[in-house]
Amino acid sequence: MRKVFGSVRARAALGATVVVAVALVAAGIAVLAVLQSNLADRAEIDAGSTARAVASKVAGGVPFQELDLGDDTPVQIVDDDHRVRAVSDDLQAVTGTGSPSVRPVPAPPGEDDDDDDGGAGEVSSTPEYGSGTARVDGETAEYRWAAIDVTDARGEDVTVYAGAPLATERGAVTTVRDAMLIGLPLLLLVVAAVTWLVTRRALRPVEGIRREMAAITASTDLSRRVPEPGSYDEVARLARTTNETLMALEASVERQRAFVADASHELRSPVASLRTQLEVGAAHPELLDLDGAVADVVRLQRLAADLLLLARLDAGERPTGETPVALDALVREELAQRAADRVPVRDEVAPVAVPGSRGQLAQVLGNLLDNAQRHARSGVRVAVREEGRWAVLEVADDGAGVDEAERERIFERFVRLDDARSRDDGGAGLGLAIARNVAVRHGGTLTVRTAPEGGALFELRLPR
pLDDT digits (tens, 9 = 90+) for 24-76: 888 888 888 888 888 888 888 888 888 898 888 888 888 888 888 876 789 98
**Mean of pLDDT values over 400-426:** 70
What percentage of residues in the chain have a pLDDT greater than 90?
14
**Confidence category of residue 386, pLDDT binned at 50, 70, 90:** very high
Quick one: pLDDT at residue 416? Answer: 66
Return the pLDDT at 148.
92
> Mean per-residue pLDDT for 76-96?
88
- 420 pLDDT more than 80: no
Percent of the chain with pLDDT over 70: 90
Q: Which residues contact 436 (CB under 8 A, 6 or more apart)?
A: 411, 446
So what's the pLDDT on residue 322?
61
Report the greatest alpha carbon distance in the chain: 164
pLDDT tens across 149-195, in order? 998 878 888 999 999 988 877 888 888 888 888 888 888 888 888 88
**Structure confidence by residue, pLDDT tens digits, 299-333:** 777 777 777 777 777 766 667 656 789 999 999 99
Confidence of residue 380 (pLDDT cuts 50, 70, 90): very high
CATH C-level class of 324-463: alpha beta
What is the rounded average pLDDT of the residues 431-449?
A: 89
Band the pLDDT of 417: cuts 50, 70, 90. Answer: low
Q: Which class for 7: exposed (0-12), middle (13-18), buried (19 or more C-beta within 10 A)? A: middle
SS3 track for the chain: CCCCCCCHHHHHHHHHHHHHHHHHHHHHHHHHHHHHHHHHHHHHHHHHHHHHHHHHHHHCCCCHHHCCCCCCCCEEEEECCCCEEEECCCEEEECCCCCCCCCCCCCCCCCCCCCCCCCCCEECCCCEEEEEEEEECCEEEEEEEEEEEEECCCCCEEEEEEEEECHHHHHHHHHHHHHHHHHHHHHHHHHHHHHHHHHHHHHHHHHHHHHHHHHHHHHCCCCCCCCCCCCCCHHHHHHHHHHHHHHHHHHHHHHHHHHHHHHHHHHHHHHHHHHHHHHHHHHCHHHCCHHHHHHHHHHHHHHHHHHHHHHHHHCCCCCCCCCEEEHHHHHHHHHHCCCCCCCCEEEEECCCEEECCHHHHHHHHHHHHHHHHHHCCCCEEEEEEEECCEEEEEEEECCCCCCHHHCCHHHCCCCCCCCCCCHHHHCCCCHHHHHHHHHHHCCCEEEEEECCCCCEEEEEEEEC
> Is pLDDT at 205 greater than 50 in this prediction?
yes
pLDDT of residue 213: 86
- pLDDT tens-digit map of 104-137: 887 665 554 444 555 567 887 788 998 899 998 8
Domain boundaries, the chain: 1-215, 234-314, 324-463
Which pLDDT belongs to residue 419?
Answer: 46
On the question of pLDDT at 212 being above 90, the answer is: no
Per-residue pLDDT at 221 = 81
- pLDDT beyond 60 at 238: yes
Does pLDDT of 421 surpass 60? no
Q: Determine the pLDDT at residue 321.
A: 56
Pick the closest to residue 356 from 398, 382, 325, 387 (CA basis). Answer: 325
Tell me what the mean pLDDT of segment 199-218 comes to.
83
| CATH class for the region spanning 234-314 | mainly alpha
R_g of the chain computed on alpha carbons: 52
